[in-house]
Amino acid sequence: MFAKRQSALAASAGQAPKAGGVRPNLKPVAALLRRPAVAVGAAGLLTLAAGALFVTVLGDPRAGVPSARVALKREPVAEAPAPTGFDAFSSDAFGVYQDLAAPGEGLAPDAAIITLPDGTQAAGGAGVTAPRLAAQPLTPAPIAGLFQQGPEGPLPVIAPDGRTPAVAYARPFRADGRPRVALIVGGLGLNAATTRAAIERLPAEVTLSFVPYAEGLQGWIDLARAQGHEVLIEIPMEPTGYPDNDPGPYTLLASEGPEDVQAKMGWLLSRAQGYFGVTNYLGDRFTGSDAATGAFLQILRQRGLAFIDDGALARRPGAFTRATANTVIDETQTPAAIIGRLNALEAAAKTRGQALGTGFSYPVTVEAAARWAAGLNARGVQLAPASAMAQRPGR
């Protein structure tokens, strides 16, 4: 086969091409291209084809330009950290309250987990994780007959039928024969987060103490009573180092006479309604004045108010009913130290029959107190409101 093909090619080699071949007829194409619409379309196609040919032959004209590709990832928005004990009070305008929690004290991460006597653990860090408790509402304030209008606002009074704010606004309590322990948590009303935590997460039997300078004080007291807490108002008294150590406006001073004490107490007691008594804030210098202290206690006695002190006025008789705290639970602001004081308070109650402690509303204090109080019943101790510890003079 290969030989036959070679012979045929050799035979035809050198011969001239044959004439009369078929020629294509381009006249219809030329006529079509004379139309304007077709001409424009053809020109566009020709331009595209030329561009494609240019890229095919010469390559991408932008191929030499530097380029980069970056993978973008949206980071989740981090939640703001819960306030620490220092942050909670650093924004208030009364310097003495800011100083109560020094930076770096009591909130160390290595001391955040504590073990309670019943074996449970409590987190004592910056936030409060104890569960919210069900409300046990008290009678809303004001109660008819227990107030009268004063120069600065409504003031507590003894009702014509003998009812007193010390009894009417106290949380009802019935002793069951077991040792009793009471706790007051104070400094409330200056910071919304810590105030709400104390109201919602501490047992209703825990007494809450409010700063008279707090904005919206009546609303906070109403909320506390709706949850079941009885309430005290803090009375600022002159401390050692005054005025450098200043508890704020309307501080009762040792140098003042009865009229001055009366005027300041009129302002302080008219800030809100619904409290069963008052407690002192500082005051070691004030209590050294017999005249000033006597005027203060006489006002409380005349208005039927209880007085619960932190130990500064333990030997001062007066007021309608009186009680003195045995210990301050959070002088050292660490979970371990606070639990140690609470355990000592519990032991004192078992020894003496009852004991009363006070603390400030640092988040670490609220957290530790809430966890500790939850196991009291199982340990054979009855949690009582502070009013249950108060007694009338001579009884």
Per-residue confidence in pLDDT tens, the chain, 395 aa: 334 333 333 333 334 334 444 455 555 545 555 666 555 566 666 666 555 554 554 555 555 445 545 454 555 545 444 333 333 333 333 333 333 333 333 333 333 454 555 455 544 445 789 999 999 999 999 999 999 999 999 999 999 999 999 999 999 999 999 999 999 999 999 999 999 999 999 999 999 999 999 999 999 999 999 999 999 999 999 999 999 999 998 999 999 999 999 999 999 999 999 999 999 999 999 988 999 999 999 999 999 999 999 877 766 666 778 999 999 999 999 999 999 999 999 999 999 999 999 999 999 999 999 999 999 999 999 999 999 999 876 44
Q: Is 389 within 8 Å of 175 (Cβ atoms)?
A: no
Q: What pLDDT score does 105 carry?
A: 35
pTM above 0.85, yes or no: no
DSSP letter for 127, please: S
Q: What pLDDT score does 193 carry?
A: 94
Q: What pLDDT score does 159 carry?
A: 98
Give which of 166, 148, 143, 162 is closest to 305, Cα–Cα: 166
Distance CA 284, CA 328 (A): 15
Provide the residue type at 282 as one letter.
Answer: L
Q: 84-93 in b/e burial notation, b at 16+ Cβ within 10 A?
A: bbbbbbeebe
First to last CA, the chain: 141
Q: What pLDDT score does 314 carry?
A: 66
Tracing tokens 């989740």 back to the chain, one arrives at 76
Report the CATH number of the 146-389 domain: 3.20.20.370
Query: Going by C-beta distance under 8 Å and a sequence separation of 6 or more, which residues neighbour residue 273?
Result: 141, 142, 146, 147, 154, 156, 218, 221
Q: Is 390 within 8 Å of 306 (Cβ atoms)?
A: yes
- Residue 114 three-state SS: strand
